Amino acid sequence: MSPRTHLTSADDVPEQGGWLFTVEEPGGSLQEVFLLRLADGVAAWRNYCQHETDQELYREDIGAVVRDGGIVCPKHGSVFDAATGHCDNGPAAGSDLAEVAVTVELGEVYLTDDDVTFSHEGPAGAGSDDDDDDDVPDSTSHLRF
Ligand code: FES
């Protein structure tokens, strides 16, 4: 069992929008995961729809849209139960969101999934140490053009 990683305080996880972080798969690829606060805990779902896996559920501008306890896919409107991840409607009907194991202890949220390791808070593309624009190649020079 790998050591757990502290993610954030449960109070900082919104019911609407969510809290995004990135994990690293065993092969080294990065995968976004978002937390949602539930009535009795916190859920962690990988950030893609089960209908079209290139469709994100958590969008950078608004996070994850939650209505009546369901996460709404922004592309075709399938709604996934925020607590169980199950979908019984729309084009994703019969599928379940991919879960990442987290636990809440004394109001703090920890990543406890043995299959992934924590990479960083925020989107997958935000893990670089350089805070330059992504379209500017890394350079050892301090000159900027
Ligand atoms: S991509 Fe999510 S329902 Fe179609």
Ligand 1 site-directed mutation target among 46, 52, 95, most atoms within 8 Å of CB: 52
Q: Is residue 136 part of a domain?
A: no
pLDDT at 9 over 50: yes
What pLDDT band is residue 129 in, cutting at 50, 70 and 90? Answer: low
Q: Is residue 105 part of a domain?
A: yes
Domain count, the chain: 1
- Give the chain's length: 145
Mean pLDDT, the chain, whole residue set: 89
Per-residue pLDDT at 16: 87
Count CB-CB contacts under 10 A for residue 128.
Answer: 10
Q: Is residue 115 part of a domain?
A: yes
Task: Supply the residue whose CA is at minimum distance from atom 4 of ligand 1.
Answer: 76
Q: Is residue 94 part of a domain?
A: yes
Q: Is residue 25 part of a domain?
A: yes
Tokens of 24: 């690293």
Q: Judge if the beta carbon of residue 132 lies within 6 A of ligand 1.
A: no
- What's the CA gap between 113 and 99, in Å, rounded? 9
pLDDT tens by residue, 28-81: 999 999 999 999 999 999 999 999 999 999 999 999 999 999 999 999 999 999
Q: Is residue 138 part of a domain?
A: no
What pLDDT band is residue 15 in, cutting at 50, 70 and 90? Answer: confident
pLDDT at 140 over 50: no
Task: Supply the residue whose CA is at minimum distance from atom 1 of ligand 1.
Answer: 52
Q: Is residue 69 part of a domain?
A: yes
Q: Judge if the beta carbon of residue 59 lies within 6 A of ligand 1.
A: no
pLDDT at 104 over 80: yes
What pLDDT band is residue 3 in, cutting at 50, 70 and 90? Answer: confident
Domain containing 79 — which CATH number? 2.102.10.10
Domain that holds residue 79: 5-124
Instruction: Give the position, in ligand 1's atom list, of the atom nearest the Cα of 74.
Output: 2
Name which of 35, 45, 52 is nearest 108 in CA terms.
Answer: 35
- Which one has a higher pLDDT value, 134 or 17? 17
Per-residue pLDDT at 128: 54
Q: Is residue 139 part of a domain?
A: no
